[in-house]
A = this chain, B = another copy of it.
Amino acid sequence: MIQTPYLLFLGDAPDPLAAKVAQGIRDWRPEYALGQVRMEGCRADMRVPDMSLDEGLEAGARTLVIGVANRGGVISAAWRHVLAEALLKGYDLASGLHNLLRDEPELVEIARAEGRQLHDVRVPSQAYPIADGVKRRGLRCLAVGTDCSVGKMYTALAMDHEMRDRGMKASFRATGQTGILITGEGVPLDAVVADFMAGSVEWLTPDNDPDHWDLIEGQGSLFHPSYSGVTLALIHGGQPDALILCHEPTRAHMRGLPGYALPSLEEVRDLSLACAHRVNPACRAVGISVNTAGLGEDEATGYLARTEERMGLPAVDPFRHGAGRLVDALSAIG
């Protein structure tokens, strides 16, 4: 578990997109985002106070989060200097970079000497159990998609936000690196060893109050040949009571696989439910989340109306219209 709140390290981000992890923290956990550290040439701005490391400490920050992708997959000397200084001043470090903090000897040495933590959220930091399939108390909602990267994390975070606003008991459960950095905990599912995938999801969503909802971040797609096994482990480990079907209507083919068309929402609904019923016979599809960023306002409204009519489920773009109707649908069954 990563200590919060955070100071956000934006480094020399060449554009706002490079700082999307920081943006996610700023959007979804603003209370964690005390300030930002920007180096020369940084072209991203989270609209939180610019702070020195000392000012961040004074404001209460516990962890310096690398909220930016690095260029060329290496931690530059300029970055390393700031990171080392942060460790010496008393920060833990957290990173979702492919190249790991633990592979930087200088940082490892300082962290060890100072008793600081290095959190590499791309790789598991612990051993997970084998799944036992025993039904757990509490309610669970899982976002499943027609493809990778269609808005499953965004959907779950938006629902979590709406439910907290309504005073409902809810927890976003992160299964990917960005989600883990946003919330400070979770399982980097795509890096878990095969035998322990479903068990790690059971561990992530333990027994809870009968009226508590876990909003589990989805990964991959049952229809994506590269990652489908991860998705099935999420369904079987997650024991969802409710599924949200996620889709991006302008995509020409499955992400990274030119030979594969996207499945229909009906196919995703039917196969996902068939699998979910193995662990939770009460599971049902309750809503549809469409990423309409590629459509104009009228197009988006029309697409959502037609989809809602066709599928018989509320269909919304939570970014454009909020997650209220998806949460209404959850409330109706929990």
User: Shortest Cβ distance from A307 into chain B, in angstroms?
Assistant: 22
Contact pick for A228, options B189, B191, B192, B232, CB 8 Å: B232
Which chain B positions have C-beta within 8 A of A226?
Answer: 130-133, 195, 198-199, 236
A296 interface contact, C-beta 8 A: no
User: Shortest Cβ distance from A192 into chain B, in angstroms?
Assistant: 5
A193 interface contact, C-beta 8 A: yes
Q: Please tell me the number of chain A residues within 8 Å of chain B, measured between CB atoms.
A: 39
A135 vs B313: C-alpha distance when bound (angstroms): 36
A30 interface contact, C-beta 8 A: no
Identify 20 new A-B residue pairs, CB closer than 8 A, beyond the known A190-B194, A192-B193: A131-B225, A132-B257, A133-B226, A191-B194, A192-B194, A193-B193, A194-B194, A194-B197, A198-B227, A222-B232, A225-B236, A225-B279, A228-B232, A228-B233, A228-B236, A228-B278, A229-B229, A229-B233, A229-B236, A232-B232
A295 interface contact, C-beta 8 A: no
Binary contact readout A119-153 vs B (1 if CB under 8 angstroms, 0 otherwise): 00000000000111111000000000000000000
A259 interface contact, C-beta 8 A: yes
A293 interface contact, C-beta 8 A: no
A226 vs B233: C-alpha distance when bound (angstroms): 8
Interchain residue pairs with CB less than 8 A apart (22): A130-B226, A130-B256, A132-B226, A132-B256, A133-B225, A133-B260, A134-B259, A135-B259, A190-B193, A192-B194, A193-B194, A197-B229, A198-B229, A199-B226, A222-B232, A222-B275, A223-B278, A225-B236, A226-B236, A228-B275, A228-B278, A229-B230
User: Shortest Cβ distance from A23 into chain B, in angstroms?
Assistant: 24
A134 vs B226: C-alpha distance when bound (angstroms): 11
